[in-house]
Amino acid sequence: MKTFKLENEPKIESGFRTPNDYFENFSVKMMERLPASEPKVISIFQKRKTLFMMIAAILVLALMIPIIANWSQNKQELDSVALENYITYQSNVNQYDLINELETEDISKIKINVAIEDKAIEDVLAMNSNLENLLLE
Amino acid sequence: MHEEKEFIQQLLDPRTQNEAFQSLILEYQRPLYNHIRNIVLNHDDTDDILQNTFIKIFQNLKNFKGESKLFSWMYRIATNEALNFLKQKSKMSGVTSEIIQNKVLDNLEADIFFDGDEIQLKLQKAIALLPEKQQLVFKMKYFEELKYEQISEILGTSVGGLKASYHIAVKKIEAFVTTN
């Protein structure tokens, strides 16, 4: 049996053929079948982009309100007048409570020497109607 | 390469698109027809697939990145269309694509668009027995006379791998023709 060798044989064609004028008419037929240019698709988001952006901005601002409010409150400094007024009108701390809190050292710090003449003392005592009570105390 | 870029620009420009696409069809209709026909064997099926291939090319031109050559990109689309057609056909009829191809081969002698002689018919039968990849490589190299580099770009296989596939395919075909 003779061994078949592809390279020794003349080129074997596929044997396929086409109908007459197939390629002559193909491009015309093909061009007619091509789809028309597709209209540009705009998504709902793109169409209402401004509206969506506005809603998003409002939401962000709304969420930031508590943070901003808290931040501005923290910024207020506690001044001494406000503190004094608060203690005077809003708290139950009385004079005696404050005295009890004072240490001997604190008292010595606020101790001041006041030079009062005898005449002045006499005048005060003469003007004070509760002299007897003061003497009893 | 520069000319191809210019041509792609013409294909994408709505003002020059139709004219450019018509020249693309005229240039590639025969090689792509032969490529598809070698895979599906039947003229009517080839005609449908070729039209679908050009429609896909037209629709996807805007996505063509130019990473590969236009030629290999179009061949890739044509190959995928032809192979998908065979898969769908076998799915619909519930038999393997090999059985369908054998059936087409049996009818080849009666096909009015096949005028092959005995050796041509025997060669087609020998090819049908090869695995899909070897069939593709053999047809593209032997019938379509494409270079290994071109086939490599189309199928995404290394040149070395293609040479090996072709060599094995030739050996199998020679053995078949010798014994039959």
User: Taking CB atoms and an 8 Å cutoff, what residues of chain A touch B51?
Assistant: 29-30, 33
Read off the pLDDT band of B21 (50, 70, 90): very high
Show Cβ contacts of residue A116 under 8 Å, excluding neighbours closer than 6 positions: none
Q: Using only C-alpha atoms, what is the Rg of chain B? A: 18
Residue A35 DSSP SS3: coil
Quote the pLDDT of residue A45: 66
- Search chain A and give the residue with CA nearest B40: A16
User: Taking CB atoms and an 8 Å cutoff, what residues of chain A touch B37?
Assistant: 14, 16
CB atoms within 10 A of CB B15: 8
Topology of the domain covering B1-95: Rna Polymerase Sigma Factor; Chain: A (1.10.1740)
Q: Do the Cβ atoms of A23 and B123 come within 8 Å?
A: no
Strand partners, B114: A16
Q: Do the Cβ atoms of B178 and A2 come within 8 Å?
A: yes
Report pLDDT digits (tens) over B105-119. 888 878 888 888 889
Q: Do the Cβ atoms of B174 and A12 come within 8 Å?
A: no
Q: Which two tokens stand for residue B136?
A: 């593709």
Task: Please tell me if residue B115 touches chain A, with a CB cutoff of 8 Å.
Answer: yes
Q: Do the Cβ atoms of B120 and A33 come within 8 Å?
A: no
Q: Do the Cβ atoms of A13 and B120 come within 8 Å?
A: yes
* Euclidean distance between CA atoms B88 and B55, whole angstroms: 19
The answer to whether residue B98 scores a pLDDT higher than 80 is no
Residue with tokens 């293609």: B162
* Euclidean distance between CA atoms A43 and A49, whole angstroms: 10
Q: Do the Cβ atoms of B29 and A27 come within 8 Å?
A: yes
Q: A109 is in which domain, residue-wise?
A: 80-127
Q: Do the Cβ atoms of A14 and B143 come within 8 Å?
A: yes
How many residue contacts between A and B have a Cβ separation below 8 Å?
80
Q: Which two tokens stand for residue B123?
A: 């060669």
- Search chain B and give the residue with CA nearest A17: B113
CB atoms within 10 A of CB B27: 14
The closest alpha carbon to B101, from B126, B118, B79, belongs to B126
Q: Do the Cβ atoms of A31 and B22 come within 8 Å?
A: yes
Compute the mean pLDDT over every residue in chain A, rounded to the nearest whole number: 80
> Looking at the partner chain, which of B47, B59, B119 has a beta carbon nearest the beta carbon of A12?
B119
Structural contact between residues B128 and B107, judged by C-beta atoms closer than 8 angstroms: no
Structural contact between residues A31 and B18, judged by C-beta atoms closer than 8 angstroms: yes
> Looking at the partner chain, which of B21, B37, B178 has a beta carbon nearest the beta carbon of A3?
B178
Distance from CA of A43 to the nearest CA of B (A): 19
Domain-embedded: residue A92? yes
Compute the mean pLDDT over every residue in chain B, rounded to the nearest whole number: 91
Structural contact between residues A14 and B144, judged by C-beta atoms closer than 8 angstroms: no
Q: Return residue ranges of chain B for CATH 1.10.10.10.
A: 116-180
Angular region, B94: left φ>0, alpha ψ -120 to 50, beta rest: left
Q: What proportion of chain B, given as a percentage, has pLDDT over 70?
A: 99
Domain-embedded: residue A86? yes
Quote the pLDDT of residue A48: 78
Task: Please tell me if residue A20 touches chain B, with a CB cutoff of 8 Å.
Answer: no
Q: Return residue ranges of chain B for CATH 1.10.1740.10.
A: 1-95
Structural contact between residues B72 and B153, judged by C-beta atoms closer than 8 angstroms: yes
The closest alpha carbon to B140, from B51, B130, A125, A20, belongs to B130
Read off the pLDDT band of B97 (50, 70, 90): confident
The answer to whether residue B145 scores a pLDDT higher than 70 is yes
Domain-embedded: residue A1? no
Topology of the domain covering B116-180: Arc Repressor Mutant, subunit A (1.10.10)
Task: Please tell me if residue A26 touches chain B, with a CB cutoff of 8 Å.
Answer: yes
* Euclidean distance between CA atoms A29 and A6, whole angstroms: 39
Residue with tokens 């007024």: A85
Min mean pLDDT across B77-81, B90-94, B107-111 is at B107-111
Q: Do the Cβ atoms of B21 and A34 come within 8 Å?
A: yes
Distance from CA of B33 to the nearest CA of A (A): 10
Angular region, A41: left φ>0, alpha ψ -120 to 50, beta rest: beta
Q: What is the ipTM of this complex?
A: 0.81
Domain count, chain A: 1
Q: Choose from A7, A14, A17, A40 for mutation: most chain B CBs within 10 A.
A: A14
